[in-house]
Amino acid sequence: MEKYERIRVVGRGAFGIVHLCLRKADQKLVILKQIPVEQMSKDERLAAQNECQVLKLLSHPNIIEYYENFLEDKALMIAMEYAPGGTLAEFIHKRCNSLLDEDTILHFFVQILLALHHVHTKQILHRDLKTQNILLDKHRMIVKIGDFGISKILSSKSKAYTVVGTPCYISPELCEGKPYNQKSDIWALGCVLYELASLKRAFEAANLPALVLKIMSGTFAPISDRYSPDLRQLILSMLNLDPSKRPPLNEIMAQAICIRPLLNLYTDVGSVKMRRQVVLPCLCALGGAAAAHNVTAVQSRVQLMLLSLWEGARLSSPTLILLHGGAVAQMASLYQAPPMGAAGGPSLPGATEQLQPQFVSRFLEGQSGVTIKHVSCGDLFTACLTDRGIIMTFGSGSNGCLGHGNFTDVSQPKIVEALLGYEMVQVACGASHVLAVSNEREVFAWGRGDNGRLGLGTLECHNSPQQVAVPPEHEAQRVVCGIDSSMILTVKNQILACGSNRCNKLGLDRISSAEEPSPEDQVEEATVFLCAQSAPLNQQPIVCADIGTAHSAAVTASGQCYTFGSNQHGQLGTNSCRNSRVPHLVVGLQAMKVTVVACGDAFTVAIGADGEVCTWGKGARGRLGRKDEETGTPRPVQLEETHPYVVTSVACCHGNTLLAVKRE
């Protein structure tokens, strides 16, 4: 007990005394449950051991957190989280006859729902779910399930036969001596929801036999007509006498009445109010090695043009792709290209037919009301940013790219919970890592870490977001990810970079003139974000930059475009393929003021202030929007003359180019 200071006794239960204590190390209030071991029966000892075992398995924001257990004065002490708002039963009792509004009821209910779902996914039955075991935070807005003393950990498909729990919440099958399973917990959940809506228990009687008869009949007083029919139906479904007809937890979560409070819970708790309007591009930023079949775009009153090869279809000139379905408003609509041949038969080797890529609208299931403002694609995974500053990811979980604390694949967009306390304004995906920026200029990184691409000072991978140490004199405005490197564009229009600097593709070499740097001035790799040190990147304000496979490009405030890195295929904009570590001014673009630049694997695309498009580099298979195979100097791309367009954004992926355009 030397680590704790007792304050007062807050409860006495069948197994012992509950103390409120102060943890001396951090001055945090905690609960210590004191269970006298010597006086305990075998069953009581097992129950105490079980509670520790169960609490160690559970980790959820709506479940009381377990800290540690130890022996003190012949008693088992279990240290756990303190919830200062009291129990839900006390909260209901204080309401007297003042009914709660439906939004408040559902706000509490979905938190209990999520907590119980977490418990069941760990193959655990609570077996004593009741309002007395549901605790509140000091603001009485967050609920936490506690008291797992009689919970049952299931092995394989075993069922619990012991009759336990508070009589008012026990299920009909338990009254009949049938085995207890997850559906019995759902009955208790229905009792809790009924109690929230009526401020009284669903089943009460003067004695136990009368209570059992009442439960077995399944009769209870209806809730007030002020509540929606959906709420009444939800209660009836959970209090069905037939366990097989009670909906499982995932079905309850999918019901329309629960979707909105669930979304509000994930987007409102811990969120920061928007301080300024952030305008994000409607076209996805494609990671340096994003797979062609993983290209994702958000439609927002724009049309897309596809230039280049798409899964076997040779498109040597810009082709208009209409994304049907209207602009994104309340529902986020994502468009994905399935493998060619899915709609029009298999694509044969050497086939010359012009197959049109098929874009299919796919709604984000379970994300009703979410507005997606920006998406970014990596290699087999996607990150979405909502207008509420929430990041959701889905796809392959390899390398921890999804940021969910594991390496598990996710088929539907899932919120990156570690970032819920921040309002994110931009996200960028590399082939196997992610960077994101908050409205407070904080930068977070996760995924594959070799070459130092995460900027965390190590080469380790991370499967959950880690805050990046940005040099204190700089503030992040935008992030860019390549295959094995990353960039930060600062508020003062400077470049910070980390990762592989092969061929000086990040501009980290110390170069003050047009001369090649000496070996001691060359930087091959950086594990933390460093300022670009190659002139003129460190001398002029940079407003746009992008990273390709082996080269990068940057645009200055005056509209000049500089390229740096490998020039093996003329991607730097010079006919000479001689490799140089010195940033190169793309002379062929002097007639236009460049506003946006994008880098592919071995080519570059630039957009001018008037919407003109120029490309250069390796042009095999039409990726440059022209029929010539390769050019080291910029050449214009001719868009369809019959449809006047203005190009607003561009993204490159391996050998593909996407242009976002609007009609004049």
- Which of 81, 105, 131 marks a domain boundary? 81
The single-letter DSSP state of residue 150 is T
The verdict on 387 and 519 lying in the same domain is yes
The verdict on 310 and 244 lying in the same domain is no
Residue 280 inside a domain? The answer is: no
pLDDT of residue 412: 76
The verdict on 440 and 519 lying in the same domain is yes
Helix, strand or coil for residue 502? Answer: helix
Detail the residues annotated as belonging to a binding site. 33
**pLDDT tens readout for residues 134-180:** 999 888 889 998 876 554 444 333 344 333 445 788 888 888 877 77
Detail the residues annotated as belonging to a binding site for ATP. 33
Residue with structure tokens 């007509």?
A: 225
> How many structural domains is the chain composed of?
3
The verdict on 444 and 494 lying in the same domain is yes
Question: 167 lies in which domain range?
Answer: 88-268
Residue 345 inside a domain? The answer is: no
The verdict on 74 and 92 lying in the same domain is no
**pLDDT tens readout for residues 292-326:** 334 444 543 333 333 333 333 344 556 555 544 44
Question: Quick one: what percent of the chain has pLDDT higher than 70?
Answer: 71
For residue 493, CA distances in Å to 270, 538, 557 come to 31, 10, 9
Residue 348 inside a domain? The answer is: no
Residue 497 inside a domain? The answer is: yes
The verdict on 289 and 264 lying in the same domain is no
The verdict on 501 and 537 lying in the same domain is yes
- Crossing angle of helices 229-238 and 256-268, in 10° steps, is 100
Residue 275 inside a domain? The answer is: no
The verdict on 571 and 596 lying in the same domain is yes
For residue 339, CA distances in Å to 334, 355, 496 come to 16, 11, 37
Q: Residue 2: which residues within 8 A CB-CB, separation 6 or more? A: none
Average of per-residue pLDDT across 539-547:
94
The verdict on 509 and 414 lying in the same domain is yes
- Which of 81, 96, 130 marks a domain boundary? 81
Active site residues: 128
Least confident of 57-66, 339-348, 404-413, 540-549: 339-348
CA-based nearest residue to 119, from 57, 199, 197: 57
**359 has a pLDDT exceeding 60:** no
The verdict on 382 and 505 lying in the same domain is yes
**396 has a pLDDT exceeding 80:** yes
Contact 299, 327 (CB under 8 A): yes
> Could you tell me which residue, 352 or 389, shows the higher pLDDT?
389
pLDDT of residue 54: 72
Question: The domain that contains 186 carries what CATH number?
Answer: 1.10.510.10
Contact 169, 129 (CB under 8 A): yes
Position 337, amino acid? A
Residue 141 inside a domain? The answer is: yes
Average of per-residue pLDDT across 21-39:
83
Residue 451 inside a domain? The answer is: yes
Question: The domain that contains 369 carries what CATH number?
Answer: 2.130.10.30
Least confident of 65-69, 558-562, 593-597: 65-69
Residue 323 inside a domain? The answer is: yes
Least confident of 2-6, 333-337, 532-536: 333-337
**Mean pLDDT of all residues in the chain?**
78
Question: Element (H or E) spanning 11, and its range?
Answer: strand 4-12
Q: Residue 265: which residues within 8 A CB-CB, separation 6 or more? A: 107, 110, 111, 114
> Could you tell me which residue, 643 or 351, shows the higher pLDDT?
643
**449 has a pLDDT exceeding 60:** yes
What's the sign of the alpha-carbon dihedral 177, 178, 182, 187? negative
**130 has a pLDDT exceeding 60:** yes
**Bond prior to 536 in cis (omega within 30° of 0):** yes
The verdict on 374 and 315 lying in the same domain is yes
* pTM for this prediction: 0.55
pLDDT of residue 633: 85
The verdict on 35 and 64 lying in the same domain is yes
